[in-house]
Amino acid sequence: MLDGLEWAALLAIVMIVAGGKKLPELGSGLGKGISEFKKALGGDAKPEDPKPAPEVETKAAETKSNESR
């Protein structure tokens, strides 16, 4: 692992190469890249809300119209 001095040296090199104004862009790009990588591996899968099939909605509408008669 990197110690505190090594992290400081690495940050100084990155600031010299990229410049202070580009650091937020680099950070957000890195975060998006990691996020997309996790999604590609399937580790960041969020369960989506299941939507009812159109047939179910149609049958429910028919039942309601038959009940009102």
Q: Report phi then psi at 19, rounded to 5.
A: 90, 150
Total residue length of the chain: 69
What's the N-to-C CA distance of the chain in angstroms? 74
Rounded CA separation 14/2 (Å): 15
What is the reported pLDDT for 36?
93
pLDDT tens-digit readout, 7-60: 899 988 988 888 878 888 888 998 999 999 999 888 555 556 566 655 655 555
pTM above 0.85, yes or no: no
What is the reported pLDDT for 5?
92
- DSSP annotation of 8 reads H
For the chain, give every domain's residue range.
1-43
Q: Answer yes or no: are the C-beta atoms of 48 and 56 closer than 8 Å.
A: no
What is the reported pLDDT for 32?
94
